[in-house]
Structures are given as structure tokens and as C-alpha cells.
Amino acid sequence: MKSVDGFRDMHENRYILNNRSDFLSDHYIKWEKLDNTANLFPVIAGERMTNTYRICCELNEVIQPDLLQRAVDIVTPKFPGFNLRLRTGIFWYYFEENGKKAPEVVLESTYPCRLIHPNRNRSYLFRVTYFKKRINLEVFHVLADGMGGIIFLRELTYQYLRLAHPELSEKLGDGLSDETSLNREDSFLRNFRKASPAQYKAGKAFTIPGEKLPYGAFGVITGTLSVQDLKKVVKEKYHTTINDYIVAAFIYSTYRNYPNGVSKNRPIRVAVPVNLRPYFQSQTTKNFFVMVSAEFIPEKDDYSFEEIVEITKSSLAEQMTKENLESIFSYNVANQKILVARAVPLPLKNAAMRFIYNKTASANTTTITNIGRVTVEEDYKAYIRSFYSFLPFSLGQNLKAAVTSYEDRLIVAFTSALIDTSIVRDVFRQMSEDGLHIEIETNGVFY
């Protein structure tokens, strides 16, 4: 085996590897640092808390697996943010360019959001599966947030459709879409201004009790609604946003099911990820989000849904300012900078981060994320039926929800480790009482 000598070019994010035996050529292996949020995910990931989310694209035709594999093979090398493997350094984890073949595409045969084992996946941190008309992209959160995942899945879908329908390729060519960003800046660092005091809610939140599904089982319940009908209800009846309405429906349903469990000392707190790109003019495909929380502290015995909507709206609105969002991530970045200055070895950093995470994980009852509206180029619309997404479980949060919309289809996808489905049932019941038509599906686990 030839010995290799290397050093880092910190400005160009690459290793320069010199072959000592002949020095005939230099080989450049790109590398990059993890963003501020991503540093946590390798530390806490495991079989019970995978930090692997799923985004799906459902087509109007059955998937041809050989063409999907070709699409993955073509697209992966074009995306520097997905053509990566995770490496362990002395002081931090870091990414390195992955020179292996793209991950193997397989028929879906297990539950969503399972832990990605890089050594079984050609060192990649994402996987692609298919089932009937559906393409599934699962991403270890260390790579990208939901927006980064959408960008990759959308381009993968375009490439697949061009292979399946050569007339699209003839008309559109085989390059990446103009709307596809390959930006890999750390927008947390670029927008960091100064250290800020902690902005996170302290204290434990109400935890949803109940018997769990068998180990490893992953329950899914989706509700599909008309975007236009939902907009009309939330604007005309409640004078709020779709996001506030869905969070309020969850809080209302949880309080109705567990009125004696929710208290001043154990409030319902819903973590809501906020995409920071619109606030800071960022096009990054790395993680760039923070969490805010909608908090409900009961002060009387009974609440109407209208009251819960107002409480939710007020709770979130006061946090959704550029100044407050900047303070949240600046606090995190400042802590990272302190650790860098101290040059603490990685095992000690991991122990500290794991301890802090375990202390703060119980601060929220659940997480509800709104991926937002997915758009595609006009030429592809006839082939695509919907997009939707799933969140994995995390410590103390055995029921979560993800909201995704495409054209006039909005899908609320609940993922649950609990046998009881009362909260989900009552969320959709509230929507039905508001005159909304809902198509409800499950993956059969609850039967």
C-alpha cells in the first residue's frame, strides 16, 4: 500500500494528498465543516433516535427501479452537499467527499426513518427507496434540513422523469434546474453578530403518555386537504396562518385528551422549526433553521378552540422576528466558538453536548414542522401527484407531525410510537368540524 501524506488547505476546503512514492500527481479530496446545528446530530443519533427524516414524491406512474438507480447515479455526484461521508477528527466531526458509487436504490421493505448505517450504505448519509408510485428520500439531518432535502429530491425526480420520458430530456436538456442551489455556506456563521443570552424555554413540558407500539414499529397517519379550502377557513374564520392553525389544533386536542396532566409546571409546548433563509437571504443547502415554541399554560378549566388559536398565534408571533431568530442561533454559535477556542477533544465535546441535550429534550411536548409549498417546473407537473414528509421520534417526543403542500394538496403526516391515536383523531375531527374534507390514511401499524 502506498503511504500518503496530507494537509488541509483551509481556504479551499480540500485535502492535498501527495503520493510519496512517485509524486506524479496531486489528488484533491474536498472536505467541509459541519454547520452549527449539524454538530449535534452525530452525537445523539442511535437506533431509538435516528435523526433521519423522510421526504416523498408520489408520481402518477409506477416507479421503474432501474431508471431510478440511474437517476441517483447521475444526480449524486452533482450535489456536493450529498456526495459526502462523515469523518471523525480530533476536535470535530467533518465531511469529506465520497468517491464511492451512489447508494443502491431498493424496494421499501421496512419502516420509515430508520437509522442510516454508513458502512452498509457505501458511506453515504442518505438513502433512496421506492414503493409503487413513490420515491422516498431519507436524509441524516447532519447533511441538510428539510429545504436541502427538497432541493435534492426535486432534482432527482426531474432526472428520473427525463429518463422515463426521453421527450422531456430532448426538450429540457439534462442539466440541473436553474432554481436548484448548490450553495454550501454555513449561514449560521455568516449571519452571526454577537453572543446572545439563552432564548430557549426552560423547564419540562407535558409528555404524552401511553403504551408504545412494539419496538421498532413506526406508525404513520396522514391527512390530505385542499390548500385553498384550508386557507379560506384559517383566514376567514380564525384570522391566522395554516401553521398556527395546525399547531393550535394539536394543542387543543392534547389538552382535551389529557386535561389533568397539563399544568403550569407541565405546559404543552410545541417546537416549530423556522426556515431562516427568507430572513437572511440565504440559498444554503446546509441546515439553516432554529426552533421556536408555541406554549400553552392552562389558567382555567376549559378553553374553546378559538381561544387556543389566539394563544398559539400570540405565542409564535412574538418569537418570529428577525432579531429574535438571530439571537437564538447566535447563542448557539457563541457556544461553539467557545468550545473551539478551548480545543476540547471530540469525546469530551460529545459527552458535554449529549448531557446538555438530555437536559433540554424534555422542554417540548412535540415538534410540528411545516416544510412549506413545494414547487416544480411546469413541464414536470403532469407527472407528479404530491410531496409529503415524515419526522423521526426523539427523546420524550413519541408523536410528531410534518406538513407539506404541492399544488392544491396539503398533507399533514403524523408519525407515532404510541398505540393510542386519540390526539391525531381529534386534530382531524377539528378540521372536519371546520368544514374541511380530509382523506385519512395509515400504514396499518395501528391495526
More confident residue, 358 or 132: 132
pLDDT band (50, 70, 90) for residue 334: confident
The pLDDT, as a whole number, for residue 6 is 32
Q: Residue 309 contacts by C-beta under 8 Å, 6 or more apart in sequence? A: 238, 240, 244, 245, 248
Residue 88 pLDDT > 80, yes or no?
A: yes
Alpha-carbon distances, residue 319 vs 29, 192, 400 (angstroms): 42, 18, 21
Percent of the chain with pLDDT over 70: 91
Q: Residue 319 contacts by C-beta under 8 Å, 6 or more apart in sequence? A: 292, 293, 325
In which element (H, E) is residue 336 found? helix 322-342
pLDDT band (50, 70, 90) for residue 193: confident
H, E, C per residue of 255-319: HHHCCCCCCCCCCEEEEEEEECHHHHCCCCCCCCEEEEEEEECCCCCCCCHHHHHHHHHHHHHCC
Contact 365, 268 (CB under 8 A): yes
Residue 73 pLDDT > 70, yes or no?
A: yes
Q: Residue 422 contacts by C-beta under 8 Å, 6 or more apart in sequence? A: 253, 257
Residue 25 pLDDT > 60, yes or no?
A: no
Which of 193-202, 280-289, 413-422 is least confident?
193-202
pLDDT band (50, 70, 90) for residue 22: very low
Across the strands, what pairs with 106?
Answer: 129
Contact 113, 392 (CB under 8 A): yes
What's the grid cell of residue 328? 437564538
Q: How far apart are CA 185 and CA 191, in angstroms?
A: 11
* pLDDT average, residue stretch 413-431: 98
Mean pLDDT over the full length of the chain: 91
Which of 1-15, 70-84, 193-207, 406-420 is least confident?
1-15
Terminus-to-terminus CA distance in the chain, angstroms?
A: 56
Is the model's pTM score more than 0.95? no
Alpha-carbon distances, residue 275 vs 109, 257, 320 (angstroms): 32, 31, 11
pLDDT band (50, 70, 90) for residue 198: low
Residue in 202, 188, 204, 141 with CA at minimum distance from that of residue 325: 188
The pLDDT, as a whole number, for residue 352 is 85
Residue 341 pLDDT > 60, yes or no?
A: no
User: If DSSP codes are grouped into helix, strand and coil, which group holds residue 207?
Assistant: coil
Cα 222–Cα 116–Cα 361 angle in degrees, nearest 5: 70
Q: pLDDT tens-digit profile of 219-275?
A: 999 999 999 999 999 999 999 999 999 999 999 999 999 999 999 999 999 999 999
* pLDDT average, residue stretch 283-308: 96
Residue in 191, 152, 189, 195 with CA at minimum distance from that of residue 35: 189
Cα 165–Cα 170–Cα 176 angle in degrees, nearest 5: 85
pLDDT band (50, 70, 90) for residue 361: confident
Q: How far apart are CA 121 and CA 115, in angstroms?
A: 11
Q: How far apart are CA 269 and CA 134, in angstroms?
A: 33
Residue 397 pLDDT > 90, yes or no?
A: yes
| β-pairing verdict for 289-296 and 219-226 | unpaired
* pLDDT average, residue stretch 20-48: 76
Q: How far apart are CA 125 and CA 360, in angstroms?
A: 26
pLDDT band (50, 70, 90) for residue 201: low
Q: How far apart are CA 221 and CA 440, in angstroms?
A: 7
Contact 174, 144 (CB under 8 A): no
pLDDT band (50, 70, 90) for residue 349: confident
Q: How far apart are CA 158 and CA 168, in angstroms?
A: 9
* Amino acid found at 132: K
Percent of the chain with pLDDT over 90: 81
pLDDT band (50, 70, 90) for residue 202: low
What's the grid cell of residue 43? 452525537
